[in-house]
Amino acid sequence: SSSKILIKGGTVVNAHHQEIADVFVEHGIIVDVKPNIKIGDDVTVLDATGKFVMPGGIDPHTHLAFDFMGTRTIDDFFSGQAAALAGGTTMHIDFAIPVGGSLIAGFEAYEERAEKSVMDYGFHMAVTKWDDTVSKEMEIMVNEKGINSFKFFMAYKGALMINDVLLLEGLKKCKSLGALAMVHAEHGDAVFEGQKRMIELGITGPEGHALSRPAVLEGEATARAIRLAAFVNTPLYVVHVMSIDAMEEIAKARKSGQKVIGEPIVAGLVLDDSGPWDPDFVTAAKYVMSPPIRAAGHGKALQAALSTGILQLVGTDHCVFNSTQKSLGIDDFRKIPNGVNGIEERMHLVWDTMVESGQISVSDYVRITSTESARIFNIYPRKGAILAGSDADIIILNPNSSFEISTSTHHSRTDTNVFEGRRGKGKVEVTIAGGRIVWINDELKVTPGSGKYVKMPPFSYLFAGIDKVDAMYFSSLKAPVKRAW
C-alpha cells in the first residue's frame, strides 16, 4: 500500500467528540482530519461512508512469549500481534518479567522477543523480589528504558508472589519515580490453602481451580492493595478485575477521591464459570485463568461498572496455551497453565456487548478500548486519538457487518478459543498500523520488525496533585501538642 492514505466520509470518533470527516495519513502519521480533503492521485483511498473511523485498540494487558508454569505461551510477539491487528488492536502493553531476579535481564529478554513485532508495543515490568538492586533497577527502567508501570503479584505463592512488606516498599518506590503500581489482587496464601483443600477432597479437575480461589480472596487483596496505596498516597491500577467483590472496593475508593484504576478483561465481562465444569478436560482447562472466571452475575456487574465509569478500560490478559500445554494439568488443576485468549476478540466483543447492546456510546467505546490506556500510560495523544499529529493507528468498523469467532479462522497459534462460536454485530474491516494497511478484506499483510517500541514517560495525569496532598499531610504532623510531662 501507498504511504499516503485517505479515509473518506466516515464518522470519526474520539473519546470526547465525533464528526463526519476525512482522515489523511502520510508516513505513519495522521496529517489532517476534516471534511472534503483534496488529494493528488498517488493516494490509497478507502471509502468509510456509514462506518466508524476510530483509534486502533490499545490492549493494556497481554503476555506474549511468557515463560510461565513450566511452559511458554504459544503466542509470541509475531502471532499475538498479528491476531491483535486482525481484531482491530494496534498496540499492546506486555508484562516483562524479571530473568534470574534481574529487571534489566528481563527487559533485555523481552526486547529481543519483541524484535519481530508487527505493531507498536510497550512494557510494564513485574517486581517479584525486593533488595537494593531491584530498587536501583526500577530507577533505570523508568529513567532509561521507557517503563512507567510496575506489577506486583499478590498471588502465585512460591513463584511470582510478593508479600505486604515488598508491596509497601514497591508502592513507595513507584511513587518516588512517578510510576504506576499495578496489582494482581488475590490473597496468595489463602489460595494455596484453598488448593490444598480441593486436592484433599479429591477434586483434581479444572473445576477445582475456581473453587479453590473464590471472589472473597480477590476482594480482600483488592481492598488491602487499595488501602496500602492510600497510606503511601500513590495511584493504583488493579489488573483483571474479575468479581463484584473487587469492583465494589474500587468503587468505594474512587468515591472517596482515591486514584484507583480498575481494568476488567474481556473474558471476565462475557464468560461465566460453567466452562471449567465441561466433562472434556481440554475444553474445561482452556478456561482456567487467575483470578478465575466467576459465576454469571459478576460479568454483568462488571459491564455495568464500565458503563458508569467505576471501571475505566478493558484489557485481555491474553496468555495462551494450547491443548498439549493445558494437559500438563490433566491429573492436577494446580498444574494447568493459567491463561485465556482475547487479543483478537476484545474489540469485537466489547463493541457487541457494550455498544450494540446500548450500554455505552461509540465515544465511550473509544475511551475504554484505546484512549484511557493511552492517558494512563502517558502516551496520549500520540496514541488513542484520531487527531492531526497522532500516530496513524486507525480502524474502520462497520456497525452493520457481523463477526464470528472460531478456532478455524482466528490468528492465534492456539488450537482452542474461549469465545468459540460467538457471533455479533460490528466488524473491524480495516486496520491501519503505523500508517500501513495491515488488515483488509479479511486478509493480513504484516511485516516482522515493523512494530516500534513505545517509551512511556512517568508522572501521568494520575499523579497530578499527589505531592500537594503529601505536603498537607506531613505539615499537619508537626508535634502540635505541648505535653506537661
Please identify, using beta-carbon distances, which residue of 37 and 203 lies nearer to Zn ion. Answer: 37
Rounded Cα distance, 188 and 200, in Å = 19
Angle at 434 between CA 429 and CA 438, to 5 degrees: 35
* SS3 state of residue 307: helix
DSSP code for 145? S
Least separation in angstroms between residue 460's CB and ligand DUC is 23
Structure-derived torsion over alpha carbons of residues 343, 345, 346, 348, reported in degrees to the nearest 10? 150
Which residue has 502519521 as its cell numbers?
Answer: 29
Using CB under 6 A, list all residues that contact ligand DUC.
Answer: 63, 184, 289-290, 317, 319, 338-339
Least separation in angstroms between residue 317's CB and Zn ion is 4
- Give the one entry of ligand DUC, Zn ion, none that residue 11 binds, where binding means its C-beta sits below a cut-off of 5 to 8 angstroms depending on kind: none
* Angle (deg, nearest 10), helices 244-255 and 215-232: 20
Least separation in angstroms between residue 202's CB and ligand DUC is 25
Please identify, using beta-carbon distances, which residue of 24 and 153 lies nearer to ligand DUC. Answer: 153
Residue number with the shortest CB distance to ligand DUC? 289
Residue number with the shortest CB distance to Zn ion? 184
Least separation in angstroms between residue 29's CB and Zn ion is 11
- Give the one entry of Zn ion, ligand DUC, none that residue 179 binds, where binding means its C-beta sits below a cut-off of 5 to 8 angstroms depending on kind: none
Residue 317 found at the interface with Zn ion (CB under 5 A): yes
Q: Could you tell me the three cell numbers for 263?
A: 481494568
Least separation in angstroms between residue 318's CB and ligand DUC is 9
Contact between 77 and 62 (Cβ < 8 Å): no
* SS3 state of residue 149: strand
118: Cβ contacts below 8 Å, ≥ 6 apart: 78, 81, 82, 85, 433, 438, 446, 447, 448, 449, 450, 451
> How many CB atoms lie under 10 A from the CB of residue 257?
9
- Give the one entry of ligand DUC, Zn ion, none that residue 220 binds, where binding means its C-beta sits below a cut-off of 5 to 8 angstroms depending on kind: none
Please identify, using beta-carbon distances, which residue of 234 and 341 lies nearer to ligand DUC. Answer: 341
- Give the one entry of Zn ion, ligand DUC, none that residue 180 binds, where binding means its C-beta sits below a cut-off of 5 to 8 angstroms depending on kind: none
Least separation in angstroms between residue 320's CB and Zn ion is 12
Interface stretch with Zn ion, choices 82-90, 179-187, 267-275, 360-368 (CB under 5 A): 179-187
Site string for Zn ion, 207-246 (x = CB under 5 A): ----------------------------------------
- Name residue 470's amino acid: D
- Give the one entry of Zn ion, ligand DUC, none that residue 338 binds, where binding means its C-beta sits below a cut-off of 5 to 8 angstroms depending on kind: ligand DUC
Please identify, using beta-carbon distances, which residue of 317 and 372 lies nearer to Zn ion. Answer: 317
Nearest of 461, 378, 311 to residue 124 by alpha carbon: 378
Residue selected from 116, 173, 175, 184 as contacting Zn ion according to rule CB under 5 A: 184
Cα 435 to chain centroid distance, Å, stands at: 23
User: Beta strands 423-433 and 394-404: pairing type?
Assistant: antiparallel
Please identify, using beta-carbon distances, which residue of 63 and 145 lies nearer to Zn ion. Answer: 63
Contact between 53 and 10 (Cβ < 8 Å): yes
Binding site for Zn ion (CB under 5 A): 184, 317
